[in-house]
Amino acid sequence: MEGLLDFVLRDILTRVGGVDRCVSEFIRVTNTELPDRVFYRVVPELLNKGLTFAGVPVRPQLLGSDPYCLADNAAVLARLNPPGIDLNFGCPAKVVNRHGGGAALLDEPELVAKIVAAVRRAVPSNIPVSAKMRLGFNDDSRAEECAIAIASSGANELVVHARTKADGYRPPAYWARIADIRAVVDIKVIANGEIWNVEDAKRCQELSGCDTLMIGRGMVQNPGLANEIKNDIKGLAYASSWQSIQPLLHDFWELVCNRLDRKSRTGRFKQWLNFLRRQYPEAEVAYMALRTCNDPDQVDAWFAALNTLIPAKTAPQTH
């Protein structure tokens, strides 16, 4: 989720608990072998054995359309000892699709197969290679064909976002189609798309047949969602409160101030508040108070006025 679930928010959300693994924002591969610093910039967790501060593994994700170039970059990345490498066959962004990347590849299952096979050959067998796909580009008529191409070419796991590129992020997600895909491949399939609460998670698992879920925007909106889902499976009640979110907000702001340039800080903070206000009325109040703010000092003053300056566990600095 480019521009949203970056390493800063990964750090914070994995502190809450319930998350078993993360996938990074995509790293765009064109026609060059990227230097190590690019991988470290997008996935600084590589400097911490591929783990977030809370100890959750992060798989870097590669996006491109050239099998040989992707393989070369996967080999470079493998030398940095990631806990896995993921391939993007699902990004719906027009600029990405226009250059033949992301979901546009779903119209070319043969090329998808070549990409996965090339990357798998380039990466040591102890490093898992996974892929994420949508159901298709304009329609889902080749969904099973693409999934078979991915599985038969050596991928260890497949995440399926249950919408086409044409569907974008509009509800609903077609979770039952994931069950169709599971029926034709022999690797683990993970369900993704439109999971905002426990009821969505249960319905998704029922229709897809998947025992593992990937959640994205739902957890940005509700940081306790993964815990809520796991506790529901155990028959336990769990719900995060605004009081439990406030220390996370302060930790997030500290990391933003440590990691981002000054002009980007308030926008990044308001971006998360904008998601949180869909779940918490208190976040709506906070968002409206800071909506026109562009000065980081005003955010500091806002925290001070609310008396929420709670000592944060500072993540190790990476350079």
Say whether 22 is catalytic: no
Active-site position among 91, 146, 204, 210 = 91
Sign of the dihedral defined by the CA atoms of residues 252, 254, 260, 261, in that order: positive
User: Which pair of tokens denotes residue 183?
Assistant: 């029926």
Residues with catalytic roles: 91
